Amino acid sequence: MVVAEDDPEMQRLMMEELISDGHRVIGATNGIELIDLLRGFHDTSTEPTVLVTDLWMPGLNGLDIIRMIRAWGWCVPVILLSAFPDHETLSKANAAGVTTFLAKPFGLEDLRAMVGKLGGRGLCQGREVSTPREPETGSQDIAPSASQSSLVVDRQRGSA
């Protein structure tokens, strides 16, 4: 699993929480570092089980990263984090192939539950890859507003 977050404290908290659940977690602090890390996976023909990435990071943003990994043919579940969820951002995230969205601030227990649901394995285009499951709606402070909720991607049901 990879966690990309440019806020060092936030990244540390997320990684510690996921590691305590038994996940192997690798961190990146900006978009360039993230894409270099992901290229390492790509070069070994493997994928992380889940990618948790901030939308706005120095270098490359989360949407650029998602577009790149989808162009590689990866079906890894992606949780996109942002403190500024607006209609346009959610539409672009949907088009880029994000699995689900988590609005900041969020509770670490919500992240843990979401990762737990997304960590399954399945088939995508004839090869074994990560399969997204139903996204966690979580508490009110992480759920999108009513106007945004229709745009949260639910790849399990095949709809946005």
For residue 46, the cross-strand partners are none
Q: How many CB atoms within 10 Å of residue 25? A: 20
Q: What is the pLDDT of residue 13?
A: 96
10 Å CB burial of residue 26 (0-12, 13-18, 19+) is: middle
pLDDT band for position 126 (cuts 50, 70, 90): very low
pLDDT band for position 44 (cuts 50, 70, 90): confident
DSSP 48-89: -S-EEEESS-SSS-HHHHHHHHHHTT----EEEEES---HHH
Strands 26-28 and 127-131, sheet pairing? unpaired
Which superfamily does 2-149 belong to? Response regulator (3.40.50.2300)
Question: Could you give the percent of the chain with pLDDT greater than 70?
Answer: 74
Q: Which two tokens stand for residue 45?
A: 């023909």
Reply yes or no on whether the pLDDT at 147 is more than 70. no
Distance between CA atoms of residues 73 and 146, nearest Å: 32
105 or 148, higher pLDDT:
105
pLDDT band for position 64 (cuts 50, 70, 90): very high
Reply yes or no on whether the pLDDT at 99 is more than 70. yes
Q: What is the pLDDT of residue 158?
A: 35
Reply yes or no on whether the pLDDT at 153 is more than 80. no
Q: Which two tokens stand for residue 129?
A: 């890859």
Mean pLDDT of the residues in the chain: 76
Q: Which amino acid is at 23?
A: H
Q: What is the pLDDT of residue 120?
A: 53
